[in-house]
Amino acid sequence: MSTIVQEIGTMAASSVREILDSGRGSPAEPNAHLWSILSDGGWGSISSDPENKVELRDILEVARVSGRFPYSTPIVSTLLAGRWFKLDEGQLESGIVLALRRGAQVVAPYYSEGVIVVDGNGGIIASSPTAVEAFSLVSPIALLPVGTMALSDEYLSELRAAFLAVAVGCADAVLDASIAWSTTREQFGQPIKGFQAVRHHLANAHIAREQAWTAAIAAAHEPERSAAWARQGFALARTSIELGIQVHGGVGFTWEVGLHHYLNQIIELRSVLGEDQ
Amino acid sequence: MTITRFDDPAAAKFREDVSTWVHEALPTKWRTDRAALTPDEVQQAQREWDAALHEGGYAGLAWPAEYGGRGFGPIEELIYYEESSRANAPDGFGRIGRVLAGPTIIVAGTEAQKVKYLPRILDASEIWCQGFSEPGAGSDLASVRTTARKVDGGYLVNGQKTWTSFAQYAKRCLMLARSSTELGRHHNLSFLLLDMEQDGVDVRPIRQISGEEEFSEVFFTDVFVADEDLVGPEHEGWGIAMTVLSNERGTTEAATRLVEATAQIDLLNRCCARHEGLDAPRLRDRCELLRWQILRTTEEKAAELDWFTAGSILKVQWSELIQDSTRLGVDSGCPEHRDYWRHHYLASKAMSIYSGTNEIQRNIITDRVLKVSR
Ligand SMILES: Cc1cc2nc3c(=O)[nH]c(=O)nc-3n(C[C@H](O)[C@H](O)[C@H](O)COP(=O)(O)OP(=O)(O)OC[C@H]3O[C@@H](n4cnc5c(N)ncnc54)[C@H](O)[C@@H]3O)c2cc1C
């Protein structure tokens, strides 16, 4: 596997981006509408067809664009499940979410009504979740029955890389918004992008997210070190977003502008991976 | 006589008195169950604390005795904050009144204003808010557009403020408004004490990323302020606003932040106890450094040395310390305090923005302290 994305990855990422970009809805709720467009377009099953030769690196590309949008769909876990497990077209179209160990619990992030929950071996879990954490702000996280087999280390390392790529997408979204804001917002009779302090924040936000992206790619290449890469990468993506909030001033602190969704998403992803334990 | 040095024996005695009092006066719920309180319960505890401070004579430590204060200096005030921080005391709800409005009225207000407002700041029966920022005037505060038009017996205020903390609870507002269109930028603003409970004041709370609605947009339509409520000379409100801001960045404010940081770092140490990689002890050292920075600045203030510009350092120091602490709290992954840390982490994002952003503080340091020309 190369650090460079293949054509299939670029193509999938740009289509997924276009679809999510047309989205609307609440960031805190699963977006069934967007998922149906993605899945009708076949984007959820590209990784299961060997002819496509989709590699993990390509999935990272899609994961990254998905992080740009505060909508919850099971695209990332579906692509990974399609790569790992024998699942049929119809199952992939419903969307797949994965069983992960979080402390003493087993949870499935990106859960929503209608998706298929699989255990650590790709076996379908028929029973319903015992509870759903609506609060999570990213997406509901389903609590699965205790004793459910969670994802093994081998798969977990790929998931870490992919979730970190989502975090980088979050940083992308905030940096774009920050650049746009620094161009329109004026203080002292000039756009704030003219102030060196602001320019350096933007540069540092870029440096941090690029390093986070490198960490995601490194995690994909070095599964045995993926936990360390994820720890470092998530912290860098968070730094990038924090700088973006700072550039926004008071506006960045409002719920309405919503930069916290990205911060929350990073915290949540990191927490379901157990990286904050 | 106020104390001017921390090693004065009177300081030790005062410290003992404060410590005894704080421990007795602390709201029980706050003492036992702080991290689990709902926002409403926190507010309740803060209000109880306001009342306790007033009854105990700790509300206006550094205020002159004739206005209900104790006539102490910055050293006693700091000792109080240190002891209350050690006891994890809450922050009162009447803080904007005590820290910003009161001291400003004391130095710049008329006798009538002092008599009218100070007692109700001390007992926190009137909550204050600070109406400075506007949609177009944040870092560039001097560009405020809200107007104060001279009419018979006073002014009519029109315009919009934003990010106004506690506006929905406030009886009074420190209002900075443009009173002239002719004079130069820093000489056409007037500083008014505005009654929020009258027609024409429309407060619309704004939801923050931390989920609370602590600040608001406030719209003013022909809101009357009597001549008696002008602070300082007409059109010279900028200087008064700077007094407010220097208090906002001063040792008292920093000391209340030390209270907050200390409490958080205590909790953090417990949450991080299970982790080898997380460096809560280093934050403890930074907290100690903040304490000494405040002590040093306070002694310089008591000795009437040049302490004024030290405020920018303090502001940067406490805001970044609390941001780092809450971030580490999230990293600790402590399941018991998960929601607590997430909330405070998000809330701390505002600290490098309000009271003048940290970029602006650094500008002040290079421009006015180091006097590095551009
Ligand atoms: C929680 C909270 C509570 C608040 N409470 C109050 C209150 O009670 N009353 C009140 O009046 N105000 C209040 N404020 C407002 C606060 O004072 C302003 O948000 C702050 O001054 C920044 O202004 P702004 O939001 O317009 O950001 P902007 O001034 O637009 O700044 C945006 C970014 O540009 C940077 N920038 C701007 N100018 C320069 C420069 N010259 N050099 C370098 N960088 C620059 C800033 O540092 C920031 O990163 C509150 C704000 C918050 C977040």
pLDDT tens-digit profile, chain B (374 residues): 678 888 889 999 999 999 999 999 988 888 778 778 888 888 888 999 999 999 999 988 888 888 888 988 888 988 898 888 788 788 788 889 998 999 999 999 999 999 999 999 999 999 999 999 999 999 999 999 999 999 999 999 999 999 999 999 999 999 999 999 988 889 999 999 999 999 999 999 999 998 889 999 999 999 999 999 999 999 999 999 998 998 888 888 888 888 889 889 989 998 988 777 778 888 999 999 998 998 888 888 777 666 557 889 999 999 999 999 999 999 988 888 988 999 999 999 999 999 999 999 999 999 988 899 88
Residue A107 contacts B, CB cutoff 8 Å: no
What pLDDT, on the 0 to 100 scale, is given for residue B43? 87
Best probe of the A interface among B214, B274, B353, by most A CBs < 10 A, is B353
What pLDDT, on the 0 to 100 scale, is given for residue A134? 64
Evaluate: CB of B169 within 6 angstroms of ligand 1: no
Residues 6 or more apart from B274 whose CB is under 8 A from it? none
What pLDDT, on the 0 to 100 scale, is given for residue B30? 83
What pLDDT, on the 0 to 100 scale, is given for residue A79? 98
Q: How far is the CA of B119 from the centre of ligand 1 (A)?
A: 31
**Tokens coding B305:** 């040395």
What pLDDT, on the 0 to 100 scale, is given for residue A231? 93
Residues 6 or more apart from A114 whose CB is under 8 A from it? A32, A94, A95
Residues of B contacting chain A (CB within 8 angstroms): 133, 136, 138-140, 143, 162-163, 206-211, 327, 330-333, 335, 338, 342, 345-346, 349-350, 352-354, 357-359, 362-363
| pLDDT tens sequence across A202-212 | 999 999 999 99
3-state secondary structure of B177: strand
Residues of B marked active site are found at 248
Give how far Cα B285 sits from Cα of B262, B290, B329, B344, Å: 11, 9, 16, 21
B39-56 helix and B9-25 helix, angle to the nearest 10 degrees:
130
Evaluate: CB of B356 within 6 angstroms of ligand 1: yes
What DSSP state is assigned to residue B117? H
Give how far Cα A245 sits from Cα of A249, A257, B33, Å: 7, 10, 32
What pLDDT, on the 0 to 100 scale, is given for residue B218? 98
CB contact under 8 A, B138 and A249: yes
Chain B nearest C-alpha distance from A257 (Å): 9
Q: Which of A249, A267, A277 sits opposite B342 (nearest CB)?
A: A267
Q: Considering only CA atoms, which of A114, A102, A105, A103 is closest in space to residue A72?
A: A114
Q: Are A8 and A49 in contact (CB under 8 A)?
A: no
| pLDDT tens sequence across A60-74 | 999 999 999 988 899
CB contact under 8 A, B333 and A277: yes
Q: How far is the C-alpha of A105 from the C-alpha of A277, rounded, in Å?
A: 13
Find chain A residues with C-beta within 8 A of B207's C-beta. 254-256
Q: Which of A249, A259, A271 sits opposite B209 (nearest CB)?
A: A259
Q: How far is the CA of B312 from the centre of ligand 1 (A)?
A: 15
Find chain A residues with C-beta within 8 A of B206's C-beta. 254-256
Q: Does A86 score more than 90 pLDDT?
A: yes
Q: Considering only CA atoms, which of A96, A187, A177, A108 is closest in space to residue A149?
A: A108
Q: How far is the C-alpha of B204 from the C-alpha of B167, rounded, in Å?
A: 9
What pLDDT, on the 0 to 100 scale, is given for residue A274? 78
Residues 6 or more apart from A40 whose CB is under 8 A from it? A93
